[in-house]
Amino acid sequence: MLVDGILGIVSAVRAARHRDKWIWLTLEGVLNIVTAAIAVLLPGLTAVVFVLLIAFWALLSGGLMLGAAFRLKADHGRGWLVFGGMASIIYGILLLVAPVIGALVLTWWIGAYALVFGVGLLILAFKLRQRSNEHHQTAMPHAAT
């Protein structure tokens, strides 16, 4: 959560430099850092409370991602950002519904969530990079032949 939060804020700063929308990235980054700080500063949390903390983090993070997705153009990979946000929300709901079971199999659920979430974000990243390359190619003046 801490690394994800730091990277989210770095992405927000980069987006702000390019005059892109940055508020959702900042909110997600801050949320991730605060959640990580709570987990580190309060080690006496029970396993169930820790699972609930992760559930709320997943729900809020997923909601922020959905908010960002609807500000992204559809051909820039909006669907993949929606997919990642929905994966996060579903993961949070599963943890809320069964926190005791979640505490027992938390590592499995985190692994499954990270795999689904990561694949979705990787596909989104490649789509955005492809769009960026297309933009740079069309913006370059053609040499006279």
Model confidence over 23-82: pLDDT tens digits?
A: 988 999 999 999 888 878 876 565 778 888 889 999 999 999 899 888 877 776 788 888
- Reported pTM: 0.50
* Residue 37 CB neighbour total at 10 angstroms: 13
Token readout for 137 is: 């190619």
| Mean pLDDT, all residues of the chain | 82
Q: 48 and 99 in contact (C-beta within 8 Å)?
A: yes
Here the tokens at position 129 are 């990079």
At which residue do the structure tokens 């994800």 appear? 4
Indicate if the alpha-carbon torsion angle 116, 120, 121, 125 is positive or negative. Answer: positive
Q: How far apart are CA 53 and CA 38, in angstroms?
A: 9
Pick from 68, 132, 62: nearest CA to 96: 62
- Nearest CA-CA partner of 78 in 119, 116, 120: 120
